[in-house]
A and B are shown apart, each in its own frame.
Chain A
Amino acid sequence: MLSKGTGLGRRIPKPWLLAAYGVAVVLLLIAPMFLSDFRLNLLSKFLAFAILALGLDLLWGYTGILSLGQGVFFGVGAYSMAMYLKLEATGGKLPDFMSWSGIDKLPAFWAPFGSFGFALAAAIALPALLAFALGWFTFRNRVRGVYFTILTQALVIIAVTLFVGQQGYTGGTNGITSFKTVLGFSLSDPNVKTALYYITAAVLIGSFVLCRWLVSTRLARVLEAIRDGENRVRFFGYDPAVFQSFAFALSGAFAGLAGVLFVFHVGIISPSMMGIVPSIEMVLWVAAGGRGTLIGAVVGTLALNWSKSLISEAYPDGWLIFLGALFIVVVVFLPRGLVGLFGSAVDFIRRRGKRHDRIPYRPVVPEGERQL
């Protein structure tokens, strides 16, 4: 069998594992009873981010491709839904920012976003298509490793500059905001908020199960093989570009989906969420949790965002120093992330008495890069 990531699961008996999942799900279910409205809103937002992190983990942890452009896919998804919400809020009239910007008629490409179904489909399909198209050309031309990573930064710059510059169509730096209802339900109604929380949690659980299934298929074996030796896979007769593009498109789709849920909870999408800074932060969520372990992406997202919120509330004028230091510590001392830390702890405990079957750690670095 090929590499199995951090291989933690082997050491944990299945019933225990299922029990742990069960506890996690139950906690998600009862969270609204314990959390204030504000904290529940934050948790909803972080759960949405976790969906994005799952996709990024498939791409980075399993396929070995690091994208610093997830913010763009997230943004495209969020904007699609925001367009629907805006049209519903204005009730058929021209959105306010268009009239400020000298546009007197609804642009044609906005019209279909009046339908919820279309907006939702577009929010997932558009980022996936965009990612697939970019990936297809790029991977076929064998741009990889750090080159691909830097190329995705160019994508971010292009997208942000366009979204900011086309104010009449996108709302410019303000982005799109002031939503009122979704499918007729008021977004400010606490019950609707709780329902949206449950929807987000359900989508996250669904995404997680989907990802677990995906990584148990042969597809994931190929992706991991590409990560560990792209040319060897090519010599076996696979076309790595197809698989890489697919993984990239999948991560784009998850990012788009996360964007949709984000808009519901936060009520605004602006280009500032698509930029270089948030895109790098997204990668850090995965790195902090432990790449190549799906649960790590979720854990990392929740842990980092929660600490970011709390630290910035406690030290509003110095929190960046704490956060920056946290990033450094996580990357340097926890190369396998929080999940890896627990793995080591489990090993440590089991090593006493039993003959341990520790799997040597293999750094998740694509072959091409290792030789640099």
Chain B
Amino acid sequence: MKRRLSMLASSFVAAAMVLTACATGASTTTESGTGGSTTSNETGETIKVGILHSLSGTMAISEVSVHDSELLAIKEINEKGGVLGKQIEPVIEDGASDWPTFAEKARKLISSDGVATVFGGWTSASRKAMLPVFEELNGLLWYPVQYEGLEQSPNIMYTGATTNQQIVPSVTWLLENRGKSFFLLGSDYVFPRTANKIIKAQLEAEGGTLVGEEYTPLGHTDYSTVISKIQAAKPDIVYNTLNGDSNVAFFKQLKDAGIGADDITTLSVSVAEEEVRGIGPDVLEGHLTAWNYYQTTETEENKAFVEAYKAAYGEDRVTSDPAEAGYIAVYLWAAAVEKAGSTDVDKVKEAAAGLTFDAPEGLVTIDGETQHIYKPVRIGEVQTDGMIKEIYSTPEPVKPDPYLKGYEWAASLSEGE
């Protein structure tokens, strides 16, 4: 007897299919059933928006704070009466630090939940994974993190900094104030490699020298060899594009090796208040960061934002640049919807162009052409209390230039587009 398969097993598959069919049949009629209350697209009482960040996996250490600030903004807007007279209903999904999962969940939010827009993503990889889904289904994604530029999708609004709003000005500032020789240290993935390519072109054009370049695998935790290499290269500046947990290991071990902020200047682009808390302010004291916003930024709006954030999530929580960018993304979207009088993606995009908002970081404006926003650039220094003190700021918000078209030395970088 050669057959050994179970009829029942097969009929189990069959049953699963039937169940699936029923389940989906049901869900197409109610249209929801997950992600919170099951009220009503039918009655039109609420407007659904998607919140899609990694709540589990390695990226959760960073993304949860953005997720929190976006929910805070939604709550505040709802308390003020919502948008178009309707309450905003967040539909939360977990991207699980896995890029295809981001694509899957984005598709679910748009096509089966019918959300008006999605706030989400952190890594470039998660954005690149979601991008084709948003373009195919004509959704709208608000992406709240600084990134490597060279992108401009009609279906994405970028509320974090592009390279000319963070990296390029910080390199110029370092060359003018701290020294000429650079050591580039990054995690081995797309953002650091692309950022460093830009920095190298800029150093060549502006008279800096490159004395070393190292990439470590994501999640690398032993920096003894890298630190030895840094000691041997004797740079003025370590430009740090390490990601997440690697920063903790690098800075702890750098301090142990007897290298402080006075010996070698380090400037980090992925270390915000939240990360400082996880590394320890004693370890990071005096090191530099480049962002558009700090918890200490002195605006009225920021005072209110920090207060509300702490009231919602606890006194010991801190705000950070990406959290702020997520927060203003919700407000900008709401303003655009009000202006357009509709949640239709094309109308919202049209209304968003030129929109301004008094953000915690200062006045921001949506650039209709690139769908990025004008942002001030700030260099900051980590203090003993874990806060970051601004030591330099651009006088005006900087116009976003994702392809660095305004920089001659960058001409060769964006080829092939």
Contact = CB atoms under 8 A, between A and B. Distances in A.
Interface of A: 4-12, 14, 16-17, 19-21, 23-24, 27-28, 31, 34-39, 41-43, 45, 93-102, 104, 161, 164-165, 167, 171-175, 177-179, 188, 212, 216, 266-270, 272-273, 277-278, 290, 293-296, 298-299, 302-303, 306, 309, 312-314, 316-317, 319-320, 338-339, 342-343, 345-346
Contacts of A19: 7
A308 to B, nearest CB: 10
Contacts, number: 232
B103 interface: yes
Contacts of A319: 56, 94
A211 B271 CA distance: 52
| Closest 4 pairs between A and B when the two form their complex, measured CB to CB | A99-B416, A9-B4, A20-B10, A34-B21
Interface stretch (B130-138, B174-182, B350-358): B130-138
Given A36-B24, A38-B107, A298-B13, A7 B128 contact: no
A36 B194 CA distance: 39
Nearest to B148: A100
Contact of B1 (A10, A21, A45): A10
A361 B178 CA distance: 73
A183 B82 CA distance: 47
Contacts of A177: 128-129, 131-132
A244 to B, nearest CB: 22
A216 B5 CA distance: 12
Interface string B13-57: 110111011001101100000110000000000000000000110
**Considering residues B10, B11, B12, B189, which has the most beta carbons from chain A within 10 angstroms of its beta carbon?**
B10
Contact-residue bracket for chain B: 35 or more
Nearest to B149: A100
A10 B190 CA distance: 55
A270 B189 CA distance: 12
A272 B24 CA distance: 29
Nearest to B197: A102
Contact of B416 (A94, A173, A188): A94
26 contacts: A8-B8, A10-B1, A12-B3, A16-B7, A17-B3, A20-B8, A23-B11, A37-B111, A39-B24, A100-B190, A167-B189, A171-B190, A174-B125, A174-B189, A175-B99, A178-B128, A216-B2, A270-B99, A272-B125, A273-B98, A312-B94, A312-B96, A317-B94, A339-B6, A339-B12, A342-B9
B94 A161 contact: no
Contacts of B136: 188
Interface string B172-196: 0000000000000000111001100
B324 interface: no
B5 A38 contact: no
**Considering residues B9, B28, B197, B218, which has the most beta carbons from chain A within 10 angstroms of its beta carbon?**
B9
B100 interface: yes
Nearest to B198: A100
A268 B20 CA distance: 25
B10 A21 contact: yes
Contacts of B81: none
A35 B21 CA distance: 6
Nearest to B111: A38
Contacts of B194: 100-101
Given A24-B13, A299-B12, A339-B6, A167 B193 contact: yes
